[in-house]
Amino acid sequence: MTSVPTPPWRKSPKPVKQQLSQALIVETGLRILDSEGLDALSMRRVAQELGTGPASLYAHVSNKDELLELIYDLILGEIEVGEPDPANWKAQLRAYALESHQVLGRHADVARAAMSSVPTGPNALRLGEYMMSLLISAGMDPRDASFTVDRLSLYIAGDAFEGSLHFARMRAQGLNDRKEYIRNFVGQIKDYYQSLPPEQFPMLTTYVDELTDPDGEQRFEYGLDLMIEGMAARMK
Amino acid sequence: MTSVPTPPWRKSPKPVKQQLSQALIVETGLRILDSEGLDALSMRRVAQELGTGPASLYAHVSNKDELLELIYDLILGEIEVGEPDPANWKAQLRAYALESHQVLGRHADVARAAMSSVPTGPNALRLGEYMMSLLISAGMDPRDASFTVDRLSLYIAGDAFEGSLHFARMRAQGLNDRKEYIRNFVGQIKDYYQSLPPEQFPMLTTYVDELTDPDGEQRFEYGLDLMIEGMAARMK
DNA sequence: ACCTGAACACCGTTCAAGT
DNA sequence: ACCTGAACACCGTTCAAGT
């Protein structure tokens, strides 16, 4: 195999190496997170992907936590919201919750950052502004609206985080089919509950089927509606 | 310094070294968790505390995740419940939620295990049985009861987990006063929100005070009541 | 200002060897 | 069966040195 000389018209071939920048680091982090999960996302791994050493990242990002928060806000950018319509606040709030939940679910492992982060990124601000204006224009008291936004956000992030823990466990077992993993997992709990002494655990043994419903989306919506109905009860 | 011979009546002095056992490992883990936080809880640290090497633990505990789950169920043992009283289900459910929340808060860092764990430990079973019997005796449909138990547990663990993340951050900064840390932290967000352009963020800038209420307990109760009222609305 | 190699002080887990 | 030392394959972060 002979090596070809670079042709003369391609002058001063730029160094292959890309310039480092915060945006580049964050994007690389997101890519790793999505394809290999939170456990794989390390400063060293990001650096490797960018062809450099881990120390180089610290010129653009102060530590791993900050990197995670930046990735988190990047993801929040995927959530789109429209104009608040006071007459439809319930449906709009519900739609918002479902969409955020979906977006967080799509990037499973960022959910942890969602729980620890302070809402100061540009997208977090945008979404906070949206939720507040929706609830307040619907007639909710500002204090109630603030608490509601806080609690709803916690619920969404909490459910997504729980999901991400299952997802990580699945990956640790070398499995890939999310549906099948859940079915299997739930099946094991079912067997266990069924094997319990009915005298001591009459409820758990009687209602095994209800307790081991594998439909996570349905469970999420159930809790969401519980909260929304609670809000409605408080407003009228 | 002369060494004293062991007196003859103290026969066959047992080796000073304690026997390893799962219970001992779990207790040691809990002690480290409570006094130094999740970050400090490593297999190596537990082993060190017991005067041995990390490999020794693997004869009693299959991995770190299992250790965390065992610690978690040990902690759940602190939650006491009485007899379900159908006429008072709202108050009892509320009291249960507050107590679990308190117990998890006391052992801040176990909350992560609370979110990932499958409810199969003896105490998790006991508490699941209690919640189910409370809701069902109050007239709730079994399916609703199951979903409610699941969602309420998630909410409690989620809030505790969020709290533990703040706690960890505090410790990482070398601080010790929880109250002061929160005040400080909230103050910073307040300043930031106040500095935002009001045209772009009318809600966030107008309702800074409501949005930065530092009382975490009040926020927890707010969300709890939202859910309980949602349940009540569904039952009647 | 930005980047780097090398080092520091850690991890969880495995494995062959011991008792 | 239980315990061990040593090793493997990793971490996040710092720091002095380079450009």
pLDDT tens-digit map of A148-198:
999 999 999 999 999 999 988 888 877 888 888 999 899 999 999 999 999
pLDDT value, residue A7: 36
> Beta carbon of A52 within 7 Å of strand C?
yes
Q: Are B70 and B46 in contact (CB under 8 A)?
A: no
pLDDT at A178: 87
Nearest to B114 by CA among B50, B171, B70, B53: B70
Return residues 83-142 of B near A (CB < 8 Å). Answer: 115-116, 118, 120, 125, 128-129, 132-133, 136, 142
Residues of chain A predicted below pLDDT 50:
1-17
Is A194 touching B (CB cutoff 8 A)? no
Q: Chain A contacts of B189, Cβ < 8 Å? A: 118, 120
Confidence band, pLDDT 50/70/90 cuts, at residue B18: low
- Split at pLDDT 50, 70, 90, the class of B2 is very low
B154 → closest Cβ in A162, A169, A204:
A162
pLDDT at res. A72: 97
Does any CB of chain B come closer than 8 Å to the CB of residue A216? Answer: no
Substitution target from A222, A228, A235, A236 for chain B, most B beta carbons within 10 A: A222
**What pLDDT is recorded for position B8?**
34
Calculate what percentage of chain B has a pLDDT beyond 70. 92
| B168, B37 Cβ separation under 8 angstroms | yes
- Beta strand spans in chain B (E): none
Asked if B204 lies within 8 A of A132 by C-beta distance, the reply is yes
Q: Which residues of A touch B226 (CB under 8 A)?
A: 148, 151, 226-227, 230-231, 234
Among B214, B226, B218, B221, which residue's Cα sits nearest to residue B184? B214
Residues of A in contact with B129 (CB under 8 A): 200-204
Q: What pLDDT does B9 receive?
A: 30
Specify the residue for token string 């049985």.
B129
Verify if strand C has an atom below 7 Å from the CB of A174. no
In the numeric block, which tokens belong to residue A79? 């959530």
Over residues B34-50, mean pLDDT: 93
The per-residue pLDDT for A18 is 57
Q: In this predicted structure, what is the pLDDT of residue A11?
A: 30
Query: Tell me: the pLDDT tens digits for B172-216?
Result: 877 888 888 999 899 999 999 999 999 999 999 999 999 999 899
Give the three-class secondary structure for A145.
helix
* DSSP character at residue A195: T
User: How far is CA A51 from its chain centroid?
Assistant: 28
Tell me how close the Cα of A77 comes to any Cα of chain B, in angstroms.
17
Cβ atoms of B158 and A158 closer than 8 Å:
yes
User: Band of the pLDDT at B59, cuts 50, 70, 90?
Assistant: very high
- Min distance B34 CA to chain A CA atoms (Å): 20
Residue indicated by tokens 């002061």: B180
Nucleotides of chain D in contact with protein CB (under 7 A) are: 1-7, 10-16
Q: Contacts of residue A115 in chain B, CB cutoff 8 Å?
A: 158, 161-162, 165
What percentage of chain B's residues is helix, strand, coil (to nearest 5)? 70, 0, 30
* Chain B residues within 8 A of A222 when measuring between CB atoms: 147-148, 151
User: Any chain B CB within 8 A of the CB of A172?
Assistant: no
Q: What pLDDT, on the 0 to 100 scale, is given for residue B6?
A: 35
